[in-house]
Structure 1
Amino acid sequence: MPSRRVVTGLSQEPRRRFAEELRRLRAQSGDSLRKLGDVLGWDWSLFGKMENGETLGGPEVVQALDQHYETPGFLLTLWELAVGDPTQFREQYRRYMALEAEAVSLWHFAVSVLPGLLQTDGYAREVLAAGGARGKELAQQVDARTGRRQLLSGEEAPHFRTILSEAVLRSPLRDGQEWREQLEHLLEMADRPNLAIQLLPQSSGLHGLVATDVMFLRMHDGHTVAYIETALHGELVEESASVERMQRAYDAVRDLALTPVESRKFIGRMLEEVPCTPST
């Protein structure tokens, strides 16, 4: 039997092949690492480490690279082969991320944790660590999550509204300074013209979303999809009747929430209660 002919000079080992493709695509585009970091909103050093094979990065980073290089799904497939476990990035979440990047407006309800789009590095690190992430995996997930904040920046950023259950702000970080920075970040984001942050007081009582984190995405063609999430499970909902039912529950919650102005004042009062870290 004749020996197998090597079709390309690229590696057949998944991790090395992934790094090779990253280097090839960047060279082809003419981007420097710093420019890539500026465009996509991640620290440029992360892309250098990915190209050198030091890290695989997280799925959100790879999704952003696929969009930037106009290679839909290609890098993500290589990434899944490289990590050796395609279930780490569920098909439904992959589709959600693609839809999120294309949405013209987003609205959200948080039961107990701030939405990833508004998390600081310190907040994301503590939340992900509580979920079991450690070491390099934790660093990768933090980079991936906080990098998504770029979605809300720029002239063409979509409008984003989040309603936060009061429990979200009653669950501070262990590090007082990190918690202060997170609250300050919320106030800063609340001043952006494309953002609205509202607080749902505990006194509002039970409601239709009492145990459900949900994100709604309105697409260019006018239809809306929803993504519901718990600590262990996420589900993309596209069936119109189900989405409509959740939207009615969301509208009822919004009627109970403080206005954006009242909510900023509430967050400001929370910030005043956080002890200042003495300078050394």
Structure 2
Amino acid sequence: MPAKTSDARRRELGAELRRRRESAGINGVDLARKLGWSQSAVSRIEAGLGGVNEVNVIMYLAHCGVSTPEAGEVLKLAKETEDGYLVRVDSLRTLILHENMARRIAVSAPLVVPGLLQTEGYARAMISLPGYDEAAVKARLNLRMSRQRLLRSQRAPRFIYFIYEAALRCPFGGYQVMNEQMLHLAFLADQEHIAIRVVPFESGQIATITGALTLMDFADHGPLAYLETPTAGVFVEAPDGIARCRYNLGQLAKDALNERQSRGLLADLASRYDRPPKEHRAHCPDILAKE
């Protein structure tokens, strides 16, 4: 099994294989012996550094006691996709994996507050959509909240967020939820490793074109971008795609308020949401009015 350069698909597959091995209570040395592989081969595959085909994956899983239906799900991760691009319908777990390995994360958020920065009330308002029962809502909410442990980790990446003003003026969950969310953002903006910069309405062209984007830089391998859509997530490693993402984020840095100005706007919005209008008009709430 010749070594290959690490990429997002191999790292995701390696992490899942390691999880299956550990769940079976088997250490890497014993598994390598059963497979007739070297211990380094197992380690490299689990780290996303080794070349691996579907036959190797089936052998690996069989020796970990994984059932045929479960093995079929893991095999989906082993399938090759277009070089430099990885599409995941259920993309959050893949995103979390790479966020926890990154040393720097830059985010563009044009429509909603980014997931890592959401309060529980705001997240619940977003997740509680038609078609989801309470059990499904709780499961999704727990995953979102547990994801935020990264912000408090001793090895947390350096974050920079570019949040379009529209995302801060759309009252998800009502005024109390938004008041708490603005106060939470203002608190996070004071953390040394987190920069929050608001892109004003009048400078929002690049923000709307860029869309929901996360660009992650790593110490041990090349950058990875994540583009979020309503139906799937796309992970990008292709150099031209990364260059375009980095260019757009650079433009946002020129358009956005600085950190001090952004904290001031967040505090102002928190105050406004603390005083809801007397007559709520769903199509155009007073909070949206610009002074």
Per the normalisation by structure 1, the TM-score is 0.65
Please list the CA deviations of residues 132-152 of structure 1 after superposition, one character each: whole Å capped at 9, or x if unmatched: 432100011001011111011
Please list the CA deviations of residues 104-126 of structure 1 after superposition, one character each: whole Å capped at 9, or x if unmatched: 11010001011110011111111
Q: Structure 1's 249 and 201: CA in aligned 2 closer, same or farther, altered over 3 A?
A: same
Aligned partner of 1:223 in structure 2 is 222
Note the 1:71-86 alignment, pairs <5 A.
Answer: 81=70
Please list the CA deviations of residues 77-117 of structure 1 after superposition, one character each: whole Å capped at 9, or x if unmatched: 88x94xx9989x74765543322110011010001011110
Question: C-alpha separation between the residues in 1 aligned to 2:89 and 2:158?
Answer: 26
Question: C-alpha separation between the residues in 1 aligned to 2:130 and 2:245?
Answer: 27
Aligned partner of 2:104 in structure 1 is 105
SS at match of 2:209: coil
Aligned partner of 1:166 in structure 2 is 165
Please list the CA deviations of residues 11-62 of structure 1 after superposition, one character each: whole Å capped at 9, or x if unmatched: xxxxxxxxxx99x96x99xxxxxxxxxxxxxxxxxxxxxxxxxxxxxxxxxx
Note the 1:237-276 alignment, pairs <5 A.
Answer: 237-275=236-274
SS at match of 1:156: coil
Give the share of equivalent positions with the same residue, in percent: 26
Question: C-alpha separation between the residues in 2 aligned to 1:205 and 1:97?
Answer: 28
Query: What count of residue pairs does the alignment treat as equivalent?
Result: 210
Aligned partner of 1:204 in structure 2 is 203
Runs of 4+ in 1 over 3 A off after TM superposition: 84-87, 89-96
SS at match of 1:103: coil
Task: Measure how far apart 1:129 and its partner are.
Answer: 1.4
Aligned partner of 2:5 in structure 1 is none
Aligned partner of 2:174 in structure 1 is 175
Aligned partner of 1:193 in structure 2 is 192
SS at match of 1:173: coil
Please list the CA deviations of residues 167-217 of structure 1 after superposition, one character each: whole Å capped at 9, or x if unmatched: 100101233222211111111111110000000001014227525100001
Residue 125 of structure 2 corresponds to residue 126 of structure 1: yes
Unpaired runs of at least 5, structure 1: 1-20, 29-66, 68-72
SS at match of 2:220: coil
Q: Structure 1's 225 and 131: CA in aligned 2 closer, same or farther, altered over 3 A?
A: farther
Q: Structure 1's 165 and 208: CA in aligned 2 closer, same or farther, altered over 3 A?
A: closer
Unpaired runs of at least 5, structure 2: 1-18, 27-46, 48-59, 78-87, 277-291
Q: Which amino acid aligns with 2:271?
A: E
Per the normalisation by structure 2, the TM-score is 0.63
Question: C-alpha separation between the residues in 1 aligned to 2:134 and 2:207?
Answer: 38
Question: C-alpha separation between the residues in 2 aligned to 1:92 and 1:125?
Answer: 19
Residue 111 of structure 2 corresponds to residue 116 of structure 1: no
Q: Which amino acid aligns with 1:236?
A: F
